[in-house]
Structure 1
Amino acid sequence: MWKAHRRLLNPFFSYKLLERFVYIFESANNILVKILSKMVDSDNFDIYPYIRRCIFDIVCESIMGIELDLQNTETSHYFQSVKNICKIFMTRVTSMVKCYSFIHRFTKDYAIEQHSLKCLNDFTESVINKRREQLKKSRKASTSTGGIREKKVFLDLILESADTLSYNEIKDEVNTLLFGGHDTTSAATSFILFCLSNNKEAQNKILEEQREIFGNVQDPDVTFASVQKMKYLDNVIKEGLRLYSPVPIFAREFDQEIQYNGMTIPKGVRLIVFAHGLHMNPKFYPDPEKFDPSRFENLEKRPFAFIPFGAGLRNCIGQKFAMLLIKSVVSKILRNFELSSAFPSHRMELVLETVLKSASGVKIGLKLRQNI
């Protein structure tokens, strides 16, 4: 199943197709800047909810073809349902009692889980149905006028494969991209901004790079090509992903017997990969607690020491999309705001809800930047 689905979806995440989504990123970023402007001179506010709504809007429009404008509305019930499901999942994984489905059914978590699943599935089905209707209207308009049909998004690719994918498989893929596309990216972006709020030198270097690309224009026409030129920002993002890996652990199952370090690992054994532990290994990253983007200037020498998107065949299919999106959001914010550490000093309480989060929020300060 994985091979068939991956082969089908891979073409959508090529740079050639991702290029056209930069204008969607910028449109949502403009709204974000306008909203964050109200928080200027605030020394202590949680930026995560603002980033999450912005990125969810972007994911829905660029991948699903649906405009939500969640940034200008109340927080979606979808977010709380995602949080509930992730917390319950981690509770069950680590509980010797709740891991059994029979016992889990008699707990309070089971009722919350069922309600949250219904909310998530209802939202997914509404997205699928809405896009189907849009495609029908688009085809009719194109046929009657002889005009050019709008460019396809990820969901169109899925819907056109209805002859090979069941409805539940379509729903599973949409669920994966909605959740994976926004939750990990939102957390990562927020943590990166937190790192920058505590590092003026890195902020200044990013601004210097922005000036080299755009001159002194604070609100330039951002293109795919210009985002690709942001090499220093690329290293900043990678360092943020190293320090705060969005998915700090993931699992793999051996499909064959493996000899490792004098041991025989049988086929079928499941291995937990502690990505965060690898990213904090002083063997690969001297002084690992330090935020130092220069580490990634020679990454090619140790490619598998950095795995925020996994590695190998089953790596994250959306990593190019995620990096492009994070660079777009962070560069937009840095061109418009100076970031400062929260006052009084803010200490994040990191928790693992499948995705790494901060229970105490991701608090920073903002000052309006007059020019770059």
Structure 2
Amino acid sequence: MAFLIPALVALLLVIIATLWKKISNLQKFRKCDDTIPGPPAHPIFGNVSAFSGKNTAEIYEIFRKTADEFRSKGKNVIRYRFLDKLYVWPLTGKALAKVLESTTELNKGDDYKFYYSWFGGGVLVEGFGERWRTHRKLLTPTFHFAKLEGYLEVFNEESKIMIECLDKYAESGKTVDMFEYIKRCALDVICGAAMGTKVNAQYYHEHPYVKAVEGFNTLAIQHALNPLYEFDFIYWALGLKKQKDEYLHTMKKFTGDVIAERQAAIASGEVEKETSKRKMNFLDILLSSGEANILSDEDIRQEVDTFMFAGHDTTTTALSWMCWNMAHHPDIQQKVYEELVSIFGEDPHTEVTTEGLSKLDYTERVLKESKRQTIPVPALQRKLINDMEIGEFEMKRETVYRIGSHRIYAF
């Protein structure tokens, strides 16, 4: 019993400190309801009610209509407040430029915090600092375009497997969810090319890593839309923390197994240990840096987690939307098909080459236009560390500048 009193006092102090911080921010950001353009906001809850119970498609439509409304009034930003958090969306390139061109405003927004337990300090969620610069410099060689040639064998092999999986639908006339097939193919590609391992996700439709990523991302969206989930006790009491931890365990175990498998293959001589960073794959560069004490084991795991997710998730989204867009524009789909046949022929077993890929001019333009219209990563965030004037409006420190690329105009 004597132990409970100090514990309860400590818990009470944490709650008081959290509430004090939130009340202070609420008082600061409430003033912005009148000084920065945006829809009417409740004095305490802000714009929470406008999004309550809405799905992502409905939320997107709310943002679209609001952005168009305020742009027509000549405004270059719009504001939404959720309790003690202020989110500002730039509507023009000029309003966006001041933040993106800043060498100091690199801090990621609050929604990224949900991913810290997964990626830790990986380059995707860490905003700036010496550690971030060191990791970026170390990993840059793995993204060199010349390295893609060495991965073509993996691209061809995994693409043929995806074609085999889809072949049963060719003459069926059925609607197919391409996202699921592209996602598993992309995971096999990223593991084979960047990690030097084979996981056969395409033959395993209920792959636990894929399912865990889906579940974790769903929780992340729910967390971003419900301010109450920021209170750890509420999140725990609803059973959501347990669910999140289960997803984390599955994802980290998978990447841990990938790392261990590659280490074992190198140690046994099954694969030759490469010494040139230009020729090393992503994981080998990380492992060699670990041997040189540049990266810790935890650093390696975090970067592998980051690359595994970002490498297959965004690619899947981009290619799935391209398929969707072509399905809605059969004339464009036909032109893409004709270009592919003119370069690679009609034999589906023909190997794709670097030379052939360089000739896909029309297909490349279709992909770029698809990504312009349906952006794989629809929003980014920067949390301001300094007060900043953008046009005629003053943005307070800790304002989250949310960059929705699909609603930005160049002027």
**Normalising by the residue count of structure 1, what TM-score does the alignment of the two structures yield?**
0.68
> Quick check: 1:55–1:182 contact (8 Å CA) kept in 2?
yes
Aligned residue in 1 for 2:370: 240
Q: Secondary structure at the match of 1:272?
A: strand
1:155 matches 2:286: no
Q: Give the Cα–Cα distance (whole angstroms) in 1 for the partners of residues 211 and 273 of structure 2.
A: 39
What's 1:7 paired with? 137
- Select the residue among 294, 297, 304 that pairs with 1:167: 297
**Alpha carbons 2:184, 2:210 under 8 Å: kept:** no
CA contact (8 A) 2:266 2:272 kept: no
Distance 1:244 1:112 in 2: 30
For residues 180-228 of structure 1, the C-alpha deviation after alignment (integer angstroms, 9 at most, x for no partner) is 1111211221121111112221122213322443356554331123212
Secondary structure of the structure 2 residue equivalent to 1:105: helix
Residue number among 158, 174, 186 corresponding to 1:28 in the alignment: 158
Q: How does 1:1-372 map to 2 (within 5 A)?
A: 1-42=131-172, 43-138=174-269, 152-162=280-290, 163-214=293-344, 218-254=348-384, 257-266=387-396, 268-278=398-408
List per-residue Cα deviations over 1:220-253 (Å, max 9, x = no partner): 3311232122121111112222232222111123
* Partner Cα separation in structure 2 for residue 166 and residue 142 of structure 1: 20
SS of aligned partner of 1:98? helix
In structure 2, runs of 5+ residues without a counterpart are 1-130
Aligned counterparts of 1:114 and 1:138: Cα–Cα separation in 2? 36
Q: How far apart, in 1, do the equivalents of 2:270 and 2:210 lie?
A: 33
Which structure has greater helix proportion? 2
Task: List gaps (5 residues or longer) in structure 1.
Answer: 279-283, 285-301, 306-372
Q: What do residues 44-68 of structure 1 show as CA deviations (whole Å, max 9, x unaligned)?
A: 2222211111111111110111111
Secondary structure of the corresponding residue to residue 230 of structure 2:
coil
Contact 1:64 1:153 in 2 (8 A): yes
Letter in 2 for 1:60: C
Instruction: Find the residue that maps to 1:97 and give its secondary structure.
Output: helix
| 1:39 Cα deviation after fit | 1.3
What's the CA shift for 1:269?
Answer: 3.5
Residues 60 and 66 in structure 1, CA contact (< 8 A), matched pair in contact too = yes
CA distance in 1, matches of 2:319, 2:190: 14
Structure 2 Cα separation of the partners of residues 34 and 251 of structure 1: 40
The structure-2 alpha-carbon separation of the partners of 1:142 and 1:187, relative to structure 1 and needing over 3 Å to count, comes to closer
CA change 1:225–1:258 in 2 (3 A) is farther
Contact residue 12 and residue 18 of structure 1 kept, 8 A: no
Residues 28, 54 of structure 1: 8 Å contact kept: yes
Max radius of gyration: which structure?
2
* Percent of residue pairs identical: 27
TM superposition score normalised by structure 2 = 0.62
Q: Name 2:123's counterpart in structure 1.
A: none
Pairwise CA RMSD: 2.6
Q: Kindly tell me: are residues 66 and 142 of structure 1, through their superposed partners in 2, closer, same or farther at Cα, counting changes over 3 Å? A: closer
Provide the C-alpha distance between the structure 1 equivalents of 2:251 and 2:347, rounded to a whole number of angstroms: 41
Secondary structure of the corresponding residue to residue 161 of structure 1: helix
CA distance in 1, matches of 2:270, 2:183: 33
In the TM superposition, structure 1's runs of 4+ consecutive aligned residues that sit over 6 Å from their partners are 139-143
Indicate conservation of the 8 Å contact 2:381/2:402, yes or no. Answer: yes
Contact kept in structure 2, 1:23 and 1:223, CA below 8 Å: no
Question: Separation in 2 of the partners of 1:158 and 1:9?
Answer: 8
- Rounded Cα–Cα distance in structure 2 between residues aligned with 1:23 and 1:34: 17
Q: Do 1:63 and 1:153's aligned partners in 2 also have CA atoms closer than 8 Å?
A: yes
Kindly indicate whether structure 1 or structure 2 has the higher relative contact order, using CA contacts under 8 Å at least 6 residues apart: 1
The answer as to whether partners of 2:255 and 2:301 remain within 8 angstroms in 1 is: yes
Task: Tell me the number of residue pairs that the alignment of Structure 1 and Structure 2 aligns.
Answer: 277
